[in-house]
Amino acid sequence: MKKAYELLIFDWDGTLADSVGRIVESMNAAAVRAGEAQSSDDAIKGIIGLALDEAIHTLYPHLEPVQVESFRQHYADIYTALDQQPSPLFEGVSESLDAFRAEGYRLAVATGKARRGLDRVLKANGWQAFFDITRAADETRGKPHPLMLEEILGHCGVEPQRALMVGDSAFDLQMASNAGMHSVAVGYGAMSLQALAEFGPQVCIEHFSQLREWLAGAAIPLPR
Protein backbone atom coordinates (compact mmCIF):
# COMPACT_ATOMS: atom_id res chain seq x y z
CA MET A 1 0.00 0.00 0.00
CA LYS A 2 1.34 3.43 -0.92
CA LYS A 3 2.26 5.57 2.07
CA ALA A 4 0.40 8.85 2.52
CA TYR A 5 3.71 10.68 2.98
CA GLU A 6 7.14 10.23 1.47
CA LEU A 7 9.15 12.79 3.42
CA LEU A 8 9.11 13.37 7.20
CA ILE A 9 10.60 16.68 8.38
CA PHE A 10 11.41 17.22 12.06
CA ASP A 11 12.06 20.21 14.25
CA TRP A 12 14.95 19.56 16.65
CA ASP A 13 14.59 21.33 20.03
CA GLY A 14 11.53 20.08 21.88
CA THR A 15 10.63 17.58 19.15
CA LEU A 16 13.61 15.25 18.81
CA ALA A 17 15.74 16.52 21.71
CA ASP A 18 14.73 17.32 25.28
CA SER A 19 16.42 20.72 25.26
CA VAL A 20 13.68 23.20 26.18
CA GLY A 21 14.84 23.52 29.80
CA ARG A 22 18.39 24.21 28.68
CA ILE A 23 17.17 26.91 26.28
CA VAL A 24 15.19 28.61 29.06
CA GLU A 25 18.18 28.49 31.41
CA SER A 26 20.55 29.88 28.77
CA MET A 27 18.22 32.70 27.75
CA ASN A 28 17.79 33.90 31.31
CA ALA A 29 21.52 33.62 32.04
CA ALA A 30 22.19 35.67 28.90
CA ALA A 31 19.70 38.28 30.09
CA VAL A 32 21.64 38.65 33.34
CA ARG A 33 24.90 39.14 31.43
CA ALA A 34 23.21 41.68 29.17
CA GLY A 35 21.75 43.61 32.11
CA GLU A 36 18.17 42.80 31.17
CA ALA A 37 15.28 41.43 33.21
CA GLN A 38 14.79 37.69 33.05
CA SER A 39 11.73 36.44 31.18
CA SER A 40 9.19 33.90 32.39
CA ASP A 41 9.62 30.28 31.39
CA ASP A 42 6.40 30.48 29.36
CA ALA A 43 7.58 33.57 27.48
CA ILE A 44 10.82 31.87 26.51
CA LYS A 45 9.06 28.66 25.51
CA GLY A 46 6.87 30.84 23.28
CA ILE A 47 9.84 31.94 21.16
CA ILE A 48 11.50 28.52 20.78
CA GLY A 49 11.64 27.73 17.09
CA LEU A 50 12.41 31.25 15.95
CA ALA A 51 15.84 32.22 14.69
CA LEU A 52 17.86 33.44 17.67
CA ASP A 53 18.02 37.13 16.71
CA GLU A 54 14.25 37.22 16.17
CA ALA A 55 13.65 35.34 19.42
CA ILE A 56 15.71 37.88 21.38
CA HIS A 57 13.98 40.80 19.66
CA THR A 58 10.59 39.30 20.50
CA LEU A 59 11.48 39.00 24.19
CA TYR A 60 13.31 42.35 24.33
CA PRO A 61 11.82 44.59 21.62
CA HIS A 62 13.52 47.70 23.03
CA LEU A 63 17.03 46.43 22.22
CA GLU A 64 18.95 48.03 19.37
CA PRO A 65 20.50 45.73 16.73
CA VAL A 66 23.97 45.98 18.30
CA GLN A 67 22.49 45.03 21.68
CA VAL A 68 20.66 42.08 20.14
CA GLU A 69 23.96 40.89 18.68
CA SER A 70 25.67 41.18 22.07
CA PHE A 71 22.80 39.30 23.73
CA ARG A 72 22.95 36.65 21.01
CA GLN A 73 26.64 36.10 21.69
CA HIS A 74 26.03 35.79 25.42
CA TYR A 75 23.35 33.18 24.74
CA ALA A 76 25.52 31.26 22.29
CA ASP A 77 28.44 31.15 24.73
CA ILE A 78 26.24 29.99 27.63
CA TYR A 79 24.31 27.42 25.64
CA THR A 80 27.45 25.96 24.08
CA ALA A 81 29.02 25.59 27.53
CA LEU A 82 25.92 23.82 28.86
CA ASP A 83 25.63 21.71 25.72
CA GLN A 84 29.05 20.06 26.00
CA GLN A 85 26.92 17.03 26.80
CA PRO A 86 24.12 17.46 24.23
CA SER A 87 20.53 17.31 25.42
CA PRO A 88 19.19 13.76 25.28
CA LEU A 89 16.80 12.59 22.62
CA PHE A 90 13.25 11.99 23.77
CA GLU A 91 12.26 8.41 24.49
CA GLY A 92 11.46 6.53 21.30
CA VAL A 93 13.12 8.99 18.91
CA SER A 94 16.18 6.98 17.90
CA GLU A 95 14.28 3.72 17.46
CA SER A 96 11.46 5.39 15.53
CA LEU A 97 13.78 7.25 13.16
CA ASP A 98 15.64 4.01 12.43
CA ALA A 99 12.30 2.35 11.73
CA PHE A 100 11.18 5.17 9.43
CA ARG A 101 14.38 4.80 7.41
CA ALA A 102 13.87 1.03 7.18
CA GLU A 103 10.29 1.61 6.03
CA GLY A 104 11.46 3.79 3.15
CA TYR A 105 10.66 7.27 4.43
CA ARG A 106 12.97 10.14 3.57
CA LEU A 107 13.95 12.18 6.62
CA ALA A 108 14.94 15.82 7.13
CA VAL A 109 15.44 18.41 9.89
CA ALA A 110 14.17 22.00 9.85
CA THR A 111 15.33 23.84 12.95
CA GLY A 112 15.62 27.24 14.55
CA LYS A 113 19.13 26.24 15.69
CA ALA A 114 22.19 27.73 14.03
CA ARG A 115 24.18 25.48 11.69
CA ARG A 116 27.10 25.24 14.12
CA GLY A 117 24.84 24.03 16.92
CA LEU A 118 22.95 21.63 14.69
CA ASP A 119 26.15 20.10 13.35
CA ARG A 120 27.39 19.65 16.91
CA VAL A 121 24.32 17.68 18.03
CA LEU A 122 24.17 15.67 14.80
CA LYS A 123 27.77 14.61 15.35
CA ALA A 124 27.08 13.74 19.00
CA ASN A 125 24.33 11.37 17.88
CA GLY A 126 26.31 9.92 14.97
CA TRP A 127 23.81 11.38 12.52
CA GLN A 128 26.06 13.45 10.23
CA ALA A 129 24.81 11.48 7.20
CA PHE A 130 21.54 10.14 8.64
CA PHE A 131 19.09 12.71 7.22
CA ASP A 132 18.54 13.43 3.55
CA ILE A 133 18.95 17.15 4.28
CA THR A 134 19.05 19.46 7.30
CA ARG A 135 18.34 23.18 7.31
CA ALA A 136 19.27 25.63 10.08
CA ALA A 137 17.85 29.08 10.74
CA ASP A 138 21.06 31.00 10.02
CA GLU A 139 21.37 29.68 6.46
CA THR A 140 17.83 30.42 5.23
CA ARG A 141 14.70 32.31 6.29
CA GLY A 142 13.54 31.61 9.84
CA LYS A 143 10.24 30.06 10.86
CA PRO A 144 7.36 30.52 10.15
CA HIS A 145 8.50 31.62 6.67
CA PRO A 146 8.16 28.56 4.37
CA LEU A 147 11.54 28.91 2.61
CA MET A 148 13.24 26.37 4.89
CA LEU A 149 10.68 23.74 3.96
CA GLU A 150 10.65 24.73 0.30
CA GLU A 151 14.41 24.19 0.14
CA ILE A 152 14.03 20.75 1.71
CA LEU A 153 11.23 19.82 -0.69
CA GLY A 154 13.27 21.01 -3.65
CA HIS A 155 16.34 19.06 -2.57
CA CYS A 156 14.30 15.87 -2.12
CA GLY A 157 12.12 16.38 -5.20
CA VAL A 158 8.97 15.87 -3.14
CA GLU A 159 5.65 17.73 -3.55
CA PRO A 160 4.29 19.52 -0.44
CA GLN A 161 1.31 17.21 -0.13
CA ARG A 162 3.66 14.23 0.18
CA ALA A 163 5.63 15.73 3.08
CA LEU A 164 4.86 16.07 6.78
CA MET A 165 6.28 18.57 9.28
CA VAL A 166 6.59 17.40 12.91
CA GLY A 167 7.08 20.05 15.58
CA ASP A 168 6.35 21.34 19.08
CA SER A 169 5.77 25.04 18.39
CA ALA A 170 3.24 27.24 16.64
CA PHE A 171 6.04 28.39 14.31
CA ASP A 172 6.57 24.82 13.08
CA LEU A 173 2.90 24.34 12.28
CA GLN A 174 2.52 27.80 10.72
CA MET A 175 5.59 27.16 8.56
CA ALA A 176 4.07 23.90 7.34
CA SER A 177 0.79 25.61 6.51
CA ASN A 178 2.63 28.39 4.69
CA ALA A 179 4.40 25.74 2.59
CA GLY A 180 1.16 23.92 1.77
CA MET A 181 2.14 20.93 3.94
CA HIS A 182 0.43 18.88 6.62
CA SER A 183 1.83 18.86 10.16
CA VAL A 184 1.94 16.85 13.38
CA ALA A 185 1.94 18.58 16.78
CA VAL A 186 3.92 17.08 19.66
CA GLY A 187 2.80 17.98 23.17
CA TYR A 188 5.91 17.18 25.20
CA GLY A 189 8.01 20.15 24.05
CA ALA A 190 7.63 23.93 24.20
CA MET A 191 3.85 24.28 23.77
CA SER A 192 0.81 22.34 24.93
CA LEU A 193 -1.29 20.29 22.54
CA GLN A 194 -4.29 22.44 23.40
CA ALA A 195 -2.43 25.51 22.10
CA LEU A 196 -1.02 23.72 19.05
CA ALA A 197 -4.37 22.22 18.05
CA GLU A 198 -5.49 25.71 16.98
CA PHE A 199 -3.04 25.58 14.07
CA GLY A 200 -4.68 22.62 12.35
CA PRO A 201 -2.25 19.70 12.65
CA GLN A 202 -3.31 16.38 11.17
CA VAL A 203 -2.75 14.73 14.54
CA CYS A 204 -1.51 15.63 18.04
CA ILE A 205 0.78 13.21 19.86
CA GLU A 206 2.04 12.96 23.44
CA HIS A 207 4.88 10.50 22.77
CA PHE A 208 7.17 10.30 19.76
CA SER A 209 6.36 6.64 19.15
CA GLN A 210 2.74 7.63 18.48
CA LEU A 211 3.89 9.16 15.18
CA ARG A 212 4.82 5.74 13.87
CA GLU A 213 1.52 4.29 15.11
CA TRP A 214 -0.44 7.06 13.37
CA LEU A 215 1.47 6.71 10.10
CA ALA A 216 0.68 2.98 10.23
CA GLY A 217 -3.02 3.79 10.49
CA ALA A 218 -3.70 3.88 14.23
CA ALA A 219 -6.22 6.38 15.61
CA ILE A 220 -4.71 8.85 18.09
CA PRO A 221 -7.13 10.63 20.50
CA LEU A 222 -7.39 14.41 20.14
CA PRO A 223 -6.28 16.55 23.10
CA ARG A 224 -8.96 17.48 25.62
Per residue in 58-76, pLDDT (tens digit) is: 999 999 999 999 999 999 9
CA 82 to CA 118: how far, in whole Å? 15
Is the pLDDT reported for residue 123 higher than 70?
yes
**pLDDT for position 187:** 94
Longest pairwise C-alpha distance within the chain: 58
Least confident of 26-30, 48-52, 66-70, 183-187: 48-52
Q: How confident is the model at residue 219 (pLDDT cuts 50, 70, 90)?
A: low
**What is the number of alpha carbons within 13 Å of residue 122 lying toward its C-beta?**
22
**pLDDT for position 97:** 97
Q: What one-letter code names the amino acid at 191?
A: M
**pLDDT for position 221:** 55
Is the pLDDT reported for residue 168 higher than 60?
yes
**pLDDT for position 84:** 85
Give the rounded percent of residues in the chain with a pLDDT score beyond 70.
Answer: 96
Is the pLDDT reported for residue 224 higher than 80?
no
What pTM did the predictor assign? 0.92
| Average pLDDT score over the chain | 93
**pLDDT for position 27:** 96
130: CB partners within 8 A, 6+ apart: 97, 101, 107, 122
Q: How confident is the model at residue 223 (pLDDT cuts 50, 70, 90)?
A: low
